[in-house]
Every structure is written in structure tokens, then in C-alpha cells.
Chains A and B, each alone.
Chain A
């Protein structure tokens, strides 16, 4: 059986992952859609804008997570731009709470989610939306009645992938959450255990859980992605 520390790490990882994915999903859908539709544009301002947006979105994918965490840290400290604002307006401090870990996870997982969602939208003929508009649908109506349901499986695949990334997130999380007893995600708990005498032998359960969760999430994401592209080929 799992110890209370292991249960706590598992519960916190799920809470952080679910919150990160739920909060960033609408933005990921919007950005993925814009990038997909701008891909074949012949207008150079649109192409340039797309390139800048793509670079901004992909940056956390190649930056060391610790750097992402550091940048988030200096934003969230009480004297930082976001920290001061939150403190002044709502008397709230996010740093070293699980909310900060959720924000870090959302930022690190965002590029993976956007990439999968963009590919899903790219696989849909944009003229279908135009056909919908010719039948009386406004732009938002056409999006939600045609493009969104057709891309739904790709969107779920992106969300699952980002959730899996969140479960494995360490570098950015340790910068904004620290490693405090009772407030450790699975990777933080494994790291903490390995720094204790005899801990290396005691962390195998969390390692095993991490591997199983990662495999299940990857398989689920792959399944949804395959279903997305099979539908488009049908």
C-alpha cells in the first residue's frame, strides 16, 4: 500500500494537472485554431504574425524548465509585476501554493497541447466552415458547429498529452512550489525521497506509478489522435 506521503503526492499531481489543463485548454484551442488557419495564408503580415505566435508558444518546449520557473518566480514574488497586482487587488499570494504549480504546469504543457490541436484543425478542410457560413451560420456558430466537433478528438488528445506532461513536470514546479512537506507532486516527492538516507530504495512505488501513468496517458493521447485523423480520411 501507498504511504500517506505518496497518496498526498499523487492527489496533488492530479489536482495540479487537471487545473493546468482545464485553465489552459480554451486558450490552446484558440491559438491552435489561429495557427492552423494562418498556415496557408498568402498575406505576409499574417505569415509573420503566425511565425511570432508559433515561436512564443513553442518557447517553453525548448527552454530549460528551470528557466521557465525562474521567470514565473520573478513574476509571482510579492514585488514582481503579477505578484504585486494580485496582492494589491485580491490580497492573494500564489507563490509556493499549488496554484503556482498549476500555472507552471500549464505553461510547460501549453506547446504540446497547441501543437496537437493545431494539427487537428489543419486536418479539417477550411472550406467546410465557409460552406456553413453560406448556409446562414455566423463565424462563431460555424466554428462551434463544424470545426470544433470535427477537431474534438485531436483536442482531447492534446489535453491528455498536456496532462501527462504536467504529471512529470519538475524544473518549473520546484522553482515556484519549493519542496515542502505535504506539498510535493510525484516528481518532487521522488526527488525528496532520494535525498534521504535509504530513500532511493523507498521511492520505487512512485517511480512505478509515474511510468504507468505516463504510458496510459500517452496511449490515450495516441488513440484519440489516430481517431481524429481516421475520421478525416473517411
Chain B
């Protein structure tokens, strides 16, 4: 049973054209591709930040978007939690108020995620009184992840959450991500241009190239063991 069905076409004013259709059946699906391949556009459409020219997005049998039938569910009602590459924490709110932002706005339909458990799993206890500007990159990423979880989403969208981190920090955040995915078992779309990260977290990978889907399958089959940079199915660097 697919938790996400995506079929969209969109043309940007600059000429870039996206035409991608896929189904996500596995709990953690990786979207792999180089810069300009359309990975972030896919996430933006699912989250409701971008309305494509044509398309249909279904999450857990809920129609989020259907341009033919005029359906376009507002972002606050989609129940998808997006973790951004640059965190986008609210700079005027403490870590605790950032974490509680979605919690206080959660409707009855959203899944119940316990504040104390999130703080414990992501080890945020010592950070609660701080402002985002006083956090390191890794701490910000953990707060962003916790804030998204506490909004009670039906699915997680992770937009290159490890890109801005150095290798030791990335290893530590990967451990937290693995903990979160194991604890809450949320269907997750994980975007990355680093093959090793996708191999480690995703059970299925979809490879994008210039706005088109060029391959999909288990990471060890689709991503060659030595591929650290995105490559097309034909072996060309993207």
C-alpha cells in the first residue's frame, strides 16, 4: 500500500520543467539527485509551498492536490512535517516555544506525540531556554526535527537535513534521525544528494535527473557503492 502517490508537471518561468510520477511504498524513501534535479520541488509540492501547473498528490488516501478537480489543501491542513536544510527556526522564540509552536496548534486529527519523549530522544533538555541564535548547527537541526515531530504529522519530509554539517556532526545527526524513524515510524521522504546518506537511511530510492525520474529501487541496486556524487543511470555525473 502506497503512503504517497505523486504525479505532477510544472514549468518554471526560467524554463526548468518538472514531470515526475512515483509511488512511495516503503517507510523511508530517498529522493536522490544533483542540484536542479527537482528534489526540492517535489517536497515543495507535497508540503503545499508550490502549486504545480498540473498534478495530483495523495497522502494516506487523502487527496492533498488535484489540479483537475480544483483540490489544493492548505499547508496547515496537510499534516506533513517538513524539516528544512537551513532549519528555519523562529528566531524570536526560545527552543521550548519553537518546539511547542506546532504542539499548541495541533488539531484532534493529528497523531499524539509526547513533548517529554521528543525532548528525551533528541536530547534537547539543556537547550529549552536558549534562543536559536545561541545554538550550533547540529542543535538547530535537532530542534527543527523535534518541532516538526511535535506538530503530529502523518509524514516527514526531510530536505537535505545533513548538507550543512561536517562529517562528525553529520554522523551524530544521523544517529538522531535513525532514533526518530525507529521510535515514531513515520513515513518519510528523505532528500539528499549524498549517496552514503541515502543508503544509510532509505529503504527505497528514487533517482531524479533534470526534473525527470530516471530510476528507482533498493539503494544498493540503484546507487553504486562508490557513488558519492549524484550520477545518472547511465553513469554520467549530474
Using a CB–CB cutoff of 8 Å, the interface residues on chain A facing chain B are 42, 125, 127-128, 130-138, 141-142, 145-146, 149-150, 231-232, 234
Contact = CB atoms under 8 A, between A and B. Distances in A.
A136 B75 CA distance: 8
9 contacts: A128-B88, A130-B49, A130-B75, A131-B84, A131-B90, A134-B80, A136-B76, A136-B105, A138-B76
Contacts of B88: 125, 127-128, 131
Contact of B101 (A127, A132, A150, A232): A132
B10 to A, nearest CB: 13
B91 A134 contact: no
A127 B105 contact: no
A125 B200 CA distance: 32
Main secondary structure of the interface of B (DSSP, over half): loop
Contacts, number: 62
A133 to B, nearest CB: 4
A131 B105 contact: no
A131 B82 contact: yes
Nearest to B153: A134
B13 A42 contact: yes
Given A42-B13, A128-B88, A231-B91, A135 B151 contact: yes
B92 A134 contact: no
A137 B76 contact: yes
A136 B107 contact: yes
A133 B76 contact: yes
Contact of A135 (B13, B49, B74, B147): B147
Nearest to A133: B75
B133 interface: yes
B219 interface: no
Main secondary structure of the interface of A (DSSP, over half): helix
A150 B74 CA distance: 24
Given A42-B13, A141-B105, A234-B133, A134 B81 contact: yes
A131 B80 CA distance: 11
B74 to A, nearest CB: 7
Nearest to B106: A136
B91 A234 contact: yes
Contacts of A128: 88, 90
B90 A146 contact: yes
B137 interface: no
Contact of A134 (B13, B76, B90, B133): B76
A70 B210 CA distance: 60
Contacts of B110: 136
Interface string B145-156: 001100100000
Indicate the member of A128, A135, A141, A146 with the most B CB atoms within 10 Å. A135
Contact of B102 (A42, A125, A136, A232): A136
Contacts of A131: 82, 84, 88, 90
B47 interface: yes
Contacts of B107: 136
A42 B47 CA distance: 20
Contacts of B92: 149-150, 231
Contacts of B102: 135-136
Contacts of B13: 42
Interface string B55-89: 00000000000000000001110101110100010
B105 A134 contact: no
Contacts of A127: 49, 84, 88
A209 B215 CA distance: 75
A141 B106 CA distance: 13
A138 B77 CA distance: 9
Nearest to A127: B88
Nearest to B49: A130
B80 A150 contact: no
Contacts of B80: 134
B62 to A, nearest CB: 16
A232 B92 CA distance: 10
Contact of A137 (B49, B84, B105, B148): B105
Nearest to B147: A135
Contacts of A234: 91, 133
Contacts of B76: 133-138, 142
